[in-house]
Structure 1
Amino acid sequence: MRKAISMLLVLVLAIGMMAGCGTKSTSENTKKDTPAATGDDKTATPTETAETAEPVTIEFWTISLQPTFTDFFNGLIKDYEAANPGVTVNWTDLPYDSIQQKLVTAAAGGTSPDVVNLNTQMALTLAGKGALVDLEAEATAEQKSIYVKSLYDSAKIGNSVYAFPWYASPNIMFYNKELFEKAGLTEIPSKYQDAFEMAKTMKDKTGAYLYNPPEFFSLLFEQGIPILNTDSTAAAFNTPDTVNLLQSFKDMTDAGYLPKTNWGSWDNELKLFETGKLATISSSGSSLSRIKDEAPDVYEKICIATPMTGSIGLSRNPLMNVVVPEASKNHTEAIKFASFITNDASQLAFCKQVAIFPSTTAASEDPYFESDTATLEGIARKMSVDISKTSKDYSLGIEDQGDVQSGVNKVYEAVIINGADIQKTLDAQEKAVNSVLQK
């Protein structure tokens, strides 16, 4: 896949502004006769109209939103087209694991999309090679001003920003109150290492794990241990603090009090939680509906709290973004539509469709998120509001974050799973990460 991405970047840079996107064949999904969103969602209608000198077609690609949200987004698109005569939006929804390859194919065929939904890691990978529009240079001050700054900066490299942040999924904690009662625990764990004694009690008295640690890359973030130096030119995680951190978790996993494998594997955590083998799980509020469907008996035992974190109190807030490829020949119109999809009204309307959290300041402060504290879902929304203030997408601000992240996580694999020497492993992976940064 990395080779494919490189191929895309070369093609994009070569094609440049000649890689048009005016074709109408890349979308089979938008139904122009679908009614616009109604009720509260009508607030998503654009507040400004625009006359275009000539017809413009915007190709809009998203990740895994159909069929659940087909009517909702067709409604937004219909509203946008009505307020912007001459603009047609073609919407294509793609699976997560195929969107990069589709971008390669589109660039090779000269039909780059104009607006694309990417996660932060994908966006940074493309931005680092000049394949995305720098919004700091081309978006208006008004368009850039509406987002929570920490989220807007997630796709920042140097002084450039390459994405409008879209919807976020801040981690909150679900815990099984029955398991806590069985273990005789009255406190809710807040910090990973501070909860070691609680983890021992939980395992001894119930047979369940208290928690599953996050992936090692995220654990370093949450412990405040720098992964890279200040100018992102070299690894910085090979420190005595990291040695001590690894040793403490190795002791716990070797003794069987915490899971040794699958750190940060959400699917595995969910399976353990739904079968009563894990007392807590950190996830977004949207996971509640899945637990309710798959394990209704466990759903009835759930309480909600702030997520467990490392020593600095930071928690993860995975983010989806909207970008404009440099190869689009409609930068101004593409940025305008990307801004519309991610503006206050559109994001708030989307949040009323699913338990996600907006990335704009005004939408995140809307009373809707605190209007219901009688249901688990309402409590989860309220908790997301509070947690969003101390959470972030774990971005390094570099194009090779995927490779760096993999190199860091190999420390965990070697030490915790395979029992390798801690210092030797850190030395080896420091060199591996430095080789990624220096190529």
Structure 2
Amino acid sequence: MKKAALALSLALAGSSLPGLASAQTAATQSPVSIDFWTFYLSPKFDGYINGVIAEFQKANPGIKVNYIDKQGTLEQELITNISLGTSPDVVNLWVESTQKAADSGLLTDMGALVPNAKRLYYANSLNNFTVGGKLYGLPWYASFDAGVMAYNNDLIKKAGVMSLPKTTAQMVAFAKTVKDKTGAYGWSPAVKDPQGGTFLGVFAGEGLPLVSGNTAAFSTPAHAKLLQTYIDLYKADYIPQDLLRKEAFQLSQELYTQGKLATIIGGPQALNRVRDNNKAIYASSMITTAPVGAGRTQAGGGMTLTIPKASKHPKEALIFAQFMTNKLNQVAFAKIVPIVPTAAGANLDPAFAKLQSSKDPIEKATGLIAVNGPKLRSAIPPLKNATDLFKSFDDNIEAAFLGRKTAQQALNDAADAWNKLLK
């Protein structure tokens, strides 16, 4: 999941505040005030954030935290404030923005300050925020692009499906069977979303390479064959025609709620709309793990807490960033919103095992999602010029789906554009 989808999925989720976790105290010599910027968490999660801050300030009376949510303007405001000498002290960034800020020399090397980071957080999550061998952010929360699969059991029975697909390759045959037998779509895969580079994630999920050094590696016959498989499904109307026009998460919610789609793949928050608008389909919904590709990994993204080099209080900022991202506080967050905790050992919390045994689809999905932090992988490596790279790639993918180019030619053209940008 890309950063906006992850942030907005939080905004769609329900919340209720459990008991917050405490942490080790850390004294400071004199009272200081630090600014903490988040991304799309207010006002939905003000209760949780302010609760953690209150616990932190109680344990660290010499530090006052000013909580500010910046939403869509965060990146530009960060650059502006740094240039004006009014830098925030702790900033909530995501994979791509961390890469850009690190490349621009704006962030503090957190690895040097937290030598035990590999013991505190999952290695895969740390890798998401490692640039040039240096760690520039402490992992906070994450999400899977797929996560779990909810399915309409009534439609599955109508289609005569006896065994649910476990792999994306099996989903191809499944999609055809469901559509032929019921008229509803069986699958709504993400092929081209506004965040960009979506089909790169499809390649990565199947274990196919994306880049090799500074060269695009996605124009091989194997990549073209996989792309053609999805194009054939699209042309035969076995996957929704609106996939080139609408974001897959939104489209899946709409069609599944209307009974026009048998499965919805994603996080538990995808079912909120179903629960609220079609109680019969929600009652028929069951949860299983999402099908995976030949790469046998779950792709996803994540959020981090960084410290700008321009922070006037880096010591206090670090104390707070570690407190906010510790295991107890991450688990507390995951209990009120379906995120993936990235702190080592969070997957062992008994609350998640209890949720997995629930008969409520959202609760069960939340439990399944929360324990999979160790399996999380970033499908797309941090890339410079990511916006331009994704646009050239997506334009060519769309051309292939619309029949303007062959699958191989589209990938060749995208690779040529990438090679110029990467070099």
TM-score if structure 1 supplies the norm length?
0.84
Name the residue aligned to 1:339. 322
Deviations 1:393-426 (A, max 9, x none): 3241333334333333333211013441222222
Deviations 1:193-227 (A, max 9, x none): 33322211211121111112223121011011111
Alignment partner for residue 414 of structure 2, among 423, 429, 435? 429
Q: Cα distance, 1:161 vs. partner?
A: 1.4
| 8 A Cα contact 1:143 1:339, kept in partner | no
Name the residue aligned to 1:272. 255
When structure 1 is superposed on structure 2, of 415-424 and 219-228 the one drifting more is 415-424
Name the residue aligned to 1:207. 183
Do the aligned partners of residues 290 and 165 (structure 1) sit closer, same or farther apart at CA in structure 2, a change above 3 Å counting? farther
Q: Is residue 53 of structure 2 the alignment partner of residue 77 of structure 1?
A: yes
| 8 A Cα contact 1:286 1:356, kept in partner | no
In the TM superposition, structure 1's runs of 4+ consecutive aligned residues that sit over 4 Å from their partners are none
Deviations 1:272-307 (A, max 9, x none): 111112211111123333331233232112111111
Kindly tell me the number of residue pairs found equivalent between the two proteins: 395
Alignment partner for residue 219 of structure 1, among 197, 202, 221? 202
Q: Cα distance, 1:241 vs. partner?
A: 0.3
| 8 A Cα contact 1:304 1:376, kept in partner | yes
Deviations 1:63-113 (A, max 9, x none): 222222212221211221122232111000122x22123223322332111
d(CA) in 1 for partners of 2:118, 2:307: 14
Alignment partner for residue 86 of structure 1, among 62, 66, 69? 62
Pairing 1:297-308 to 2, within 5 Å after superposition: 297-308=280-291
The letter for the 1-side match of 2:109 is: D
Pairing 1:1-150 to 2, within 5 Å after superposition: 41-42=19-20, 44-50=21-27, 52-95=28-71, 97-137=72-112, 139-143=113-117, 145-150=119-124
SS in 1 for 2:219: coil
SS in 2 for 1:112: coil
Q: Cα distance, 1:356 vs. partner?
A: 1.8
Name the residue aligned to 1:241. 222
TM-score if structure 2 supplies the norm length?
0.87
| 8 A Cα contact 1:49 1:83, kept in partner | yes
Q: Is residue 131 of structure 2 the alignment partner of residue 157 of structure 1?
A: yes
Q: Is residue 164 of structure 2 the alignment partner of residue 188 of structure 1?
A: yes
d(CA) in 2 for partners of 1:401, 1:54: 42
Greater C-alpha Rg: 1
Do the aligned partners of residues 407 and 390 (structure 1) sit closer, same or farther apart at CA in structure 2, a change above 3 Å counting? farther
The letter for the 1-side match of 2:208 is: I
Name structure 2 gaps, 5 residues minimum. Answer: 1-15, 191-197
Name the residue aligned to 1:360. 343
Deviations 1:116-159 (A, max 9, x none): 1122111112112211112122x222355310110111111221
Q: Cα distance, 1:169 vs. partner?
A: 2.2
Q: Is residue 255 of structure 2 the alignment partner of residue 255 of structure 1?
A: no
Deviations 1:296-328 (A, max 9, x none): 232112111111222222222331211111221
When structure 1 is superposed on structure 2, of 382-391 and 355-364 the one drifting more is 382-391
SS in 2 for 1:59: strand
SS in 2 for 1:381: helix
